[in-house]
Structure 1
Amino acid sequence: MKFILTSCICFLLLSCGSNTTIVNSWNDPETTISQEHFKKVLVVALVKDEATRRTTENRIASINPVFKTSYQYLNGMNLQLTNEQKVKILKDENFDGVLTMRLVSTEKETNYVPGTNTSIYYGGFDGMYTGIYGYGFGNWYGMYSPNFYTPGYYQETTYYMVETNIFSLTKNKLIWTGTTKSSYISDIGLTVDEIMKTLYKQMIKDGSVSQK
């Protein structure tokens, strides 16, 4: 899928570190994303908060002109329409694909972070202070290392499970879905970047997207 390939190039230039991992994925055995050759894809962030919806959709739409935000087409004026009527609107606007993203659950995990003892880095007197003049500054500093001991502690991390689906409007069916697990969400835009990068790599593994 051409637009996904272009998108990936941008994402791979981001920082190497990532707080997002893939949990599971599924692709239609009869249809790959590459085969669809999408030209116009609607991006739908299924969240209650309108600001988050727009931030998410705008972030994905900024990747490539093929992506269009849903709030431009499906808003307060037509949300009460039936699914058939909504699909008709999209087809009339020449959409051939839809990408949806939604938060499915949050999970909390508690992990123990061990303490640190600087004496293992700066010490070396074997319990004696004699012969101090023969050592470098690092060894002398080790005499005071107990004052720099950091105790261990428990840390609670919240993980966000996000499901992303890709639908073909021409075939009227789901052709790929993936669930990601993200932590430390302080910037919605950067998290969306990480999710899309992680999904693209999984699409390649699944054989739904070609690297060529």
Structure 2
Amino acid sequence: MKTLISKSSFHLLILIAIVSACAPSTKIIGSWKSPEAEASGYSNLFVAAMISDNYVTKKTIEDDIDELLIEKGIQAISNLEKVKPGLMLTNDNKDQVVQAIRESGRDAIMTIAIIDQTNETRYVPGTAYTPMYYGGGYGRFGGYYGMYGPMTYSPGYYATDKNYYVEINLYDSETQTLVWSAQSATTNPSSIDKAAREFAYVVVDKMIKDKIIIPTK
């Protein structure tokens, strides 16, 4: 059986490989759960993205986390929605906000913060390939020889990966103790919308696996 690959198809494969290598990806690289965490899980979360002064970035991340939690049957409200008019979590008013969170019935406080950002340059070596194409009768030497085209070479190149490391902490709102923590790594985010959605899925999935939240839907 003969596999026929044209030059255009080969170039397309090279392009896909390059794009895939630069595609954004988020993964959990570590997590911890306190033995003092509620055995039944937490079901009413306050979510605060403490990662940027940019309103759009904070809101996008908080909204995506909230939306996914609610889809799983977990109640959630974001810091930017405010548990009380005019009150938003900052480093200067934690006690006041925690009191408001308790009064609103939230049983846990989730914080999201970037802990590191790195740039890594790597060399992607070039590749050489001889594409095959149909060039005549396969039964004769001339026909067989004609099935091979000229050597195609894709030169090597340098690629720079941008890595963002984020810490996600969950605190019991009553005791204010840390009950769950995880660290994630995101590589080459292309847009805040795409990266935030992927981040939300990865984080909520890990929370469910660690049984820190118990989905009801």
- TM-score norm. by structure 1 comes to 0.72
SS in 1 for 2:40: helix
1:43-54 pair list within 5 angstroms: 43-46=47-50, 47-54=52-59
Task: Give the Cα–Cα distance (whole angstroms) in 1 for the partners of residues 206 and 65 of structure 2.
Answer: 17
Task: Give the Cα–Cα distance (whole angstroms) in 2 for the partners of residues 96 and 85 of structure 1.
Answer: 16
SS in 2 for 1:135: helix
1:118 equivalent to 2:129? Answer yes
Shift of 1:88: 1.2
Gaps of 5+ in 2: 1-22, 134-139
Over the aligned positions, Cα root-mean-square deviation in angstroms equals 3.0
Q: 1:138 to 1:22 in 2, by over 3 A?
A: farther
CA contact (8 A) 2:25 2:188 kept: yes
Shift of 1:160: 0.5
Shift of 1:90: 1.1
Letter of the 1:178 partner, please give it: A
Gaps of 5+ in 1: 1-16, 124-130
1:59-74 pair list within 5 angstroms: 59-65=64-70, 66-73=75-82
| Per-residue deviation, residues 47-101 of structure 1 (Å, max 9, x unmatched) | 2111101111111122243121111216993357632211111112111111111
CA contact (8 A) 1:115 1:149 kept: yes
SS in 2 for 1:117: strand
Corresponding residue for 1:56? 61
Task: Give the Cα–Cα distance (whole angstroms) in 2 for the partners of residues 43 and 204 of structure 1.
Answer: 16
Shift of 1:169: 0.8
Shift of 1:18: 6.6
Shift of 1:173: 1.2
- Structure having the higher helix fraction is 1
CA contact (8 A) 2:162 2:187 kept: yes
1:71-86 pair list within 5 angstroms: 71-73=80-82, 77-79=86-88, 82-86=93-97
CA contact (8 A) 1:41 1:95 kept: yes
Shift of 1:208: 4.6
| Per-residue deviation, residues 91-147 of structure 1 (Å, max 9, x unmatched) | 12111111111111111111111111122x449xxxxxxx762316531x1xx22xx
Corresponding residue for 1:193? 197
Task: Give the Cα–Cα distance (whole angstroms) in 1 for the partners of residues 210 and 109 of structure 2.
Answer: 19
Task: Give the Cα–Cα distance (whole angstroms) in 2 for the partners of residues 190 and 70 of structure 1.
Answer: 21
The number of residue pairs the alignment matches comes to: 181
Corresponding residue for 1:106? 117
Letter of the 2:28 partner, please give it: I
1:36 equivalent to 2:47? Answer no
Letter of the 1:166 partner, please give it: L
Q: 1:201 to 1:57 in 2, by over 3 A?
A: closer
CA contact (8 A) 1:36 1:168 kept: no
Shift of 1:170: 2.7
Percent of paired sites with the same residue: 24
162-171 vs 192-201, which deviates more?
Answer: 192-201
Task: Give the Cα–Cα distance (whole angstroms) in 1 for the partners of residues 158 and 180 of structure 2.
Answer: 38
Q: 1:63 to 1:210 in 2, by over 3 A?
A: closer
Task: Give the Cα–Cα distance (whole angstroms) in 1 for the partners of residues 195 and 58 of structure 2.
Answer: 13
Letter of the 1:36 partner, please give it: G
Shift of 1:155: 0.9
| Per-residue deviation, residues 144-190 of structure 1 (Å, max 9, x unmatched) | 22xx3111111111100011111111332111111111012122233
Task: Give the Cα–Cα distance (whole angstroms) in 1 for the partners of residues 68 and 209 of structure 2.
Answer: 22
